[in-house]
Amino acid sequence: SPLAFLDFETVSLAIPRWAGCRPWQQVPVQFSVHVEERGRGLTHHEWIADGPGDPRPALAEALVEACAGARRVVAYYASFERECIRQLREAVPQLGRGLERIERRLVDLLPTVRNHVYHPDFGGRFSIKKTLPALVPGLSYSDLKVRDGEVATVELQRLMLAGTELPASERAELRQALLRYCERDTWAMVKMLEKLRGLVADQLELF
């Protein structure tokens, strides 16, 4: 059965806009999922909010569909993804069973890297922005317009809430930049796990 790689991006609003949200709560509004099937390659799924309405029902529905059948759902610092899924379960109770299934199958790539791999280029830090270029030379975030989560949060708010103040061409460009950033996060996990599998030479089952 397939292995899924999941990453969320969130917005954090001082004045909540959607039912049940608290001030400054990190609300998931975008995801990327790469699904790896042995012998059948990779497929990519993504979803992004681009208007002011509550994004959670449509996001949750797309997420459950993207992760259907996955034996494990890999994240990097999975406690963040777990919290996002719990929020979605509260906000979209009709999809609670499918979301709970994803939560149960979550596994964290970060401890595997932190406990078993070290590279001088990590510089003592284990964020994916540091570990990726060290473990997978040639792959980083430097070629992207959006390069980190804080910028993504601000730009997602602009995409969702700027309305007609954001010209159509700029909106399309911003949307594409955000999609590419989130996709890079899950692609990074795919390539890092590939590297780790190579290092252990099948002596250890990784997920």
Q: What is the domain partition of the chain in residue ranges?
A: 3-200
Share of the chain above pLDDT 90, in %: 86
The CATH number of 3-200 is which of 3.40.1550.10, 2.60.40.10, 3.30.420.10, 3.30.1540.10? 3.30.420.10
Q: Does residue 25 have a pLDDT over 80? A: yes
Q: Which band of pLDDT confidence, cut at 50, 70 and 90, is reported for residue 85?
A: very high
Q: For 41-78, how does the pLDDT look when each residue is reduced to its tens digit (9 = 90+)?
A: 999 999 999 899 999 999 999 999 999 999 999 999 99
193: left (phi over 0), alpha (psi -120 to 50) or beta: alpha
Give the pLDDT confidence score for residue 204 in this predicted structure: 63
Q: For 173-205, how does the pLDDT look when each residue is reduced to its tens digit (9 = 90+)?
A: 999 999 999 999 999 999 999 998 888 766 666
C-alpha–C-alpha distance, residues 173 and 157, integer Å: 15
Instruction: Tell me the backbone φ, ψ of residue 82, rounded to 5 degrees.
Output: -60, -45
What tokens appear for 84 in the block?
Answer: 């996002």
CA distances from 45 to 21, 115, 197 (A): 26, 30, 24
pTM strictly above 0.85: yes
Q: For 98-125, how does the pLDDT look when each residue is reduced to its tens digit (9 = 90+)?
A: 999 999 999 999 998 998 888 999 999 9
CB 188 within 8 A of CB 132: yes
Total residues found in the chain within this entry: 207
